[in-house]
Amino acid sequence: MRASAEDSKSTPSLIPTGTLLRRVMALEERDVLVSELAAKVEAVQRDLMLSKASVSGLSALQDVMSVDKWALGAALQGCLRALMMVRVKACPPRRTARTRRGQTALTIDHIAVRGAVDQLADMCHLEAERTRSMGGRVEGRVIRFSGCRAALSMLSCSESETTASLCHSFVRRDGTITTKLLLERFTQQDGKEWYVFQRHDEDGTAEVARRDELSDSVLRRSTGGALVRETVSLKDVPGLGTSCPVVLRWSPVGHHGRPAGSTDNDVVGRVSLVFPVCIVEDAGADLRALL
């Protein structure tokens, strides 16, 4: 009897199958929770690293802005100048009897925030008009210029860049020459042509040039008299507008949302810088000399 009692004490009691299954399931659930917790910890560490990088980048940007208060305006100026240099070197399409009307304007488009336009105006000592929406809210910006040279000066173009922009000639495959000039050409109803270089708002005059005679064809070399540059009253040129066509406009773009915490200076919009263009089917030596 004593031996059987000792054997029963040494034999472990059997654990029911249901209990074992519950324990296994509990362990598996714990493993899943541990894995999820590890993934969350890793995500938090990653977000922390990204936030440190973001703060560091914002701090660097703030440091630049504190040193150069014209950072946005200077960046916009450089972008517009680079785009300008590309566009002036593009050969205009050939004018034919079927397509008599050639290029009359050169428009440089770019996306920029409102603050960049305001900075560009301030750093160049230019007046930026505030345009209003239908609801009377100030939205757009307009900067007007007296002529093409004034706009190129706003872009901080070098002397060589200014010369290349004002007049650029192209030799076609057949040997003919086409010249593109940043110059306003105005034709009166009686056929007289005027080349307008600059307007002076203070006294209502303009610096212009015209020939004594007209060219015999818009597609041939000029056969009229020599061009003479002079200053005339705008009233003496019927039909000529008082405003120079050289203008920079900025208007907000509706589909661009505003980030939380942004200001009016952060509103995204489209910048359009417009120049008048005159195309002549020769080297344009006489016009080039007057520019």
Look at residue 17 in the predicted model and tell me its pLDDT.
75
Tokens of 33: 């929770």
Residue 96, φ and ψ in degrees, nearest 5? -130, 175
Cα separations (Å) of 35 from 31, 32, 93?
6, 5, 67
Mean pLDDT in the chain? 80
168, 179 Cβ separation under 8 angstroms: yes
User: How far, in Å, CA of 106 to CA of 277, rounded?
Assistant: 6
- State pLDDT tens for residues 15-24: 777 777 777 7
Which range has highest mean pLDDT (1-15, 101-115, 174-188)?
174-188
Domain ranges of the chain: 2-53, 71-290
- Average pLDDT rounded to a whole number, residues 98-109: 77
Q: Which of 270, 268, 276, 267 is closest to 249 using CA atoms? A: 270
Look at residue 54 in the predicted model and tell me its pLDDT.
46
Other CB atoms within 10 A of residue 154 CB: 22
Question: 23: helix, coil or strand?
Answer: helix
Look at residue 59 in the predicted model and tell me its pLDDT.
55
User: How far, in Å, CA of 179 to CA of 216, rounded?
Assistant: 18
- State pLDDT tens for residues 212-268: 654 444 434 444 578 889 999 999 998 999 999 999 999 988 755 555 556 778 888
Look at residue 30 in the predicted model and tell me its pLDDT.
77
Residue 79 has pLDDT above 70, yes or no: yes
- State pLDDT tens for residues 147-198: 999 999 999 999 999 999 999 999 988 889 999 999 999 998 888 899 999 9
Question: 58: helix, coil or strand?
Answer: helix
Other CB atoms within 10 A of residue 157 CB: 20
Straight-line distance from the first to the last Cα atom of the chain, in angstroms, rounded to the nearest whole number: 129
